[in-house]
Amino acid sequence: MSPSAVPAVRDRLRIAIQKSGRLGEPARALLASCGLAWRESRDRLFCYGETLPIDLLLVRDDDIPGLIADGTCDLGIVGRNVLLEQAGERARTGAAATYREWRALGFGGCRLAIAVPDEWRWDAAGDLAGKRIATSYPALLSQWLAAQGIDAEVVTLSGSVEIAPRLGKADAICDLVSSGATLAANHLKATETLLQSEAVLAGPIAPFGDVRAELAALLLRRLDAVLGLKDSKLLMFQADSIDVPALMQLLPDAERPTVLRVDGSDRVALQALCRGAMTWQRLEDLKRAGADALLVLPVERMLA
């Protein structure tokens, strides 16, 4: 679609997410936890927002930056690796940057790394001088090589990069590593890390000039609330009031603790929002320090 085909003013916000693959489902789940719900089109490529005028377009992840750049979509959830690669490619061709990362979303973590055959006695990045490196991330790899002062050949492949060394097409690769299973299966080992990546919310650099500005602001407020609650739990317990100072020492991440005196006794009931993971170990420590009737409750929403 050409930019001119897109109306300059729109009264609904359109978010591009990955149709299939690692980021699609968690992206939808995150938006749903922000109160969005949709009706799916029959071809399952478009989801019409029912609770708010915020629609989804389900696409290939590599298409997302371009869809934001040409205005077909307003926002997108995509890997930082894809966003920066395409921004780097645009910069190389002299195109102005039109989108940027708005928020890191805390899922889909992976890294863009150099990997070499297991038998390579790796010493330092300089080992890559004069070698051929296969990648689907030529802009990011070229930038990194230039920054390191390494002269190597970049072999651009659109997929199956991990088999390039075995096919004799390259000496090393530069690819995403998540669990490391793909590398291990191909007898490769990761060496240098070029970029830490995760899913991000991408959006335009220029502000929206219509109702989409308010919709985007609303979405960001809810996203920040949801992301801020990650791992948070409501902790409740009872204790003798004399033990409370020692118990609070064990809860450095507790926010807004409420202490209520239990009628006619020295006992108190305490509740606090805890930001860190509430592990069994922590609960057992609290129990030893005098806490009783411990309850850990999930926190679904918070409006401070």
End-to-end CA distance of the chain: give it in Å, rounded.
Answer: 42
Is 83 an interacting residue with respect to ligand PRP (CB under 6 A)? Answer: no
Say whether residue 127 binds Zn ion (CB under 5 A). no
Specify the stretch interacting with ligand PRP by CB under 6 A; choose among 83-91, 137-145, 172-180, 206-214.
Answer: 172-180
Task: Quote the crossing angle between the two packed helices 212-228 and 24-33, to the nearest 10°.
Answer: 100
- Which of 34, 27, 75 lies closest to 51, judged by CA? 34
- Answer yes or no whether residue 181 interacts with ligand PRP by CB under 6 A: yes
Give the nearest distance from C-beta 158 to Zn ion in angstroms.
Answer: 9
Q: How far is 193 from 195, CA to CA, in rounded Å?
A: 6
**What are the tokens at 63?**
């298409």
* Strand order, beta sheet including 172-177: 153-156, 132-135, 172-177, 110-117, 188-197
Residue 172 in the binding site for ligand PRP (CB under 6 A) = no
5 in contact with ligand PRP (CB under 6 A) = no
Rounded-to-integer distance, Cα 229 and Cα 41, Å: 32
Of the candidate spans 44-52, 148-156, 178-186, 277-285, the one that interacts with ligand PRP by CB under 6 A turns out to be 178-186
Does position 21 interact with ligand PRP (CB under 6 A)? The reply is yes
Beta bridge partners of 155: 134
User: Is the Cβ of residue 57 or residue 176 nearer to ligand PRP in the bound state?
Assistant: 176
Query: In this chain, which stretch among 55-63, 145-153, 201-209, 235-243 interacts with Zn ion, using CB under 5 A?
Result: 55-63
Based on the shown chain and the rule CB under 6 A, indicate whether residue 178 belongs to the binding site for ligand PRP.
yes
- Min dist CB 182 to Zn ion, Å, is 14
Smallest gap from Cβ 108 to ligand PRP, in A, equals 8
Q: Are 87 and 97 in contact (CB under 8 A)?
A: yes
Give 22 or 131: the residue with its C-beta nearer to ligand PRP: 22
35 or 180: whose CB is closer to ligand PRP? 180
277: which residues sit within 8 A by CB, 6+ positions away? 231
For the chain, the residue count is: 304
DSSP output for 125-143: GGGGTT-EEEES-HHHHHH
Which pair of structure tokens corresponds to residue 257?
């603790």
**Interacting partner of 180 out of ligand PRP, Zn ion, none (Cβ under 5 to 8 A depending on kind):** ligand PRP
Residue of the chain from 61, 85, 127, 192 that contacts ligand PRP (CB under 6 A): 61
**Site membership for Zn ion, residue 61 (CB under 5 A):** yes
Residue with tokens 């190597």: 152
Q: If binding is defined by CB under 6 A, does position 179 make contact with ligand PRP?
A: yes
Nearer Cβ to ligand PRP (193/279): 193
Binding footprint of Zn ion on the chain (CB under 5 A): 61-62
